[in-house]
Homo-oligomer: A and B are copies of this chain.
Amino acid sequence: MRFTSRQRLDDAVLERSFTLGEIPGVLWTSASTATPAPLILLGHPGGLHRMYPRLAARGRSCVAAGFAAAALELPGSGQRPRHAAAEQARADLRRALEAGEPVGEIVDRLVLPLVDRAVPELRAALDDLLALPEIDGPVGYAGGVMAIGIRLAVVEPRLAAAVLFAGSFVPAVLVEQARQITLPLQVLLQWDDENNDRQQALDLFDAFGSREKTLHANMGGHTGVPSFEADSGNRFFARHLLG
Q: Which A residues lie at the B interface, using CB under 8 A? A: 191, 202, 205-206, 210-219, 226, 228, 231-232, 235, 239
Extra contacts besides A205-B217, A212-B226, A215-B218 (7): CB < 8 Å: A191-B206, A213-B218, A214-B219, A215-B215, A217-B217, A228-B235, A232-B235
Cα A217 to Cα B205 in complex, Å, equals 10
Q: Which residue of B lies closest to A210 (CB)?
A: B219
> With a CB–CB cut-off of 8 A, which chain B residues contact A217?
205, 214-215, 217
- Chain A binding surface SS class: mixed
* 22 contacting pairs across A/B (C-beta < 8 A): A191-B206, A191-B215, A202-B202, A205-B217, A210-B219, A212-B219, A212-B226, A213-B218, A213-B219, A214-B216, A214-B217, A214-B218, A214-B219, A214-B226, A215-B215, A215-B216, A215-B217, A215-B218, A217-B217, A228-B235, A228-B239, A231-B235
- Measured between beta carbons, the chain B residues less than 8 angstroms from A232 are 232, 235
How far, in whole Å, are A202 and B210 apart by their CA atoms in the complex? 21
